[in-house]
Amino acid sequence: MSQSSKKNLTVGVLALQGAFREHCYALVQAGAEPVEVRRRRQLAGLDALIIPGGESTTMGKLMVSYHLLDPIRELGAAGLPIFGTCAGLVMLAREVCEGDQPLLGLMDMKVRRNAFGRQVKSFEAPLSVPALGEPLFPGIFIRAPWIESAGPEAEILAEFDGHPVAARQGRMLVTAFHPELTDDLRLHRLFLEMAAASRAKQPHPMTPPSA
C-alpha cells in the first residue's frame, strides 16, 4: 500500500479508557489520521476503528452508557474494519468463558479473560506471526486473554504456549497482546492495508446509524 493511500485513511480509536493514546501515536507513525472516539457522532466518516486494551467489563459498560455499543456493532456488521487489542479482542468476541458482560459479538470466537494471569504476571514474548513475516513480533501481554475456541470463519494468526493470541475474520483483526506498546508497526500497517482494501471496495466512509 502506498504512503499516500495510508495518509488518506481516517481511523477512529475508542477513547473511553485504556491504551488509546498509544494507538493514536502508532497510527500517526504508520501514516494514518487517528480520531479519538467518545461520542456516537465521532463514528461518522471513519475508514476503520481500533478498540484498545483496557478492562473489558468496564469498557463494555462504558460503551453502553455512551450509546456506542449498538452503533459499533452495526458498523462492524456492515463491513467497517475493526482492530481489537487485549480488551478489544474480548469485546469483539461472541462469548466469554466467565461471567456476563456487554459484547459486540462480531467474531466467531469464545475467549477467556485474564487467561495468562493478573497484572503482576505481565510478560513479553517473541511471537511467530506468519502473516507479518520475519522477524518475530514482540508480544506484550498484560492481564491478557486468549482465544479459547474459534469457528471456521476466524483465521488464527499467532499462538503462544499452545493458545491462539491473534486472529483475523473478514475485515476484523484481534490480538491478545499490545502492539501499540512496541515500536513494531507491522500489525498496525496490516490493519491499514485491510482498511485501504475495504475502502477501495466501498469508497464512501461509513456513517453510524441515526440516533
Looking at residues 74-80, what average pLDDT do you find?
Answer: 96
Instruction: Enumerate the domain spans of the chain.
Output: 3-201
Q: Which pLDDT tens digit goes with each residue over 128-142?
A: 999 999 999 999 999
Q: Per-residue pLDDT for 119 more than 80?
A: no
pLDDT of residue 100: 83
Whole-Å CA distances, 116 to 23, 93, 113, 121, 199: 22, 18, 8, 7, 36
What's the CA gap between 90 and 60, in Å, rounded? 10
Cite the active site residues. 86, 178, 180
3-201 is a CATH 3.40.50.880 domain: yes
Q: What is the 8-class DSSP label of residue 168?
A: E
Residue at grid coordinates 502508532: 26
Q: Please name which of 136, 125, 151, 113 lies closest in space to residue 184, comparing C-alpha atoms.
A: 136
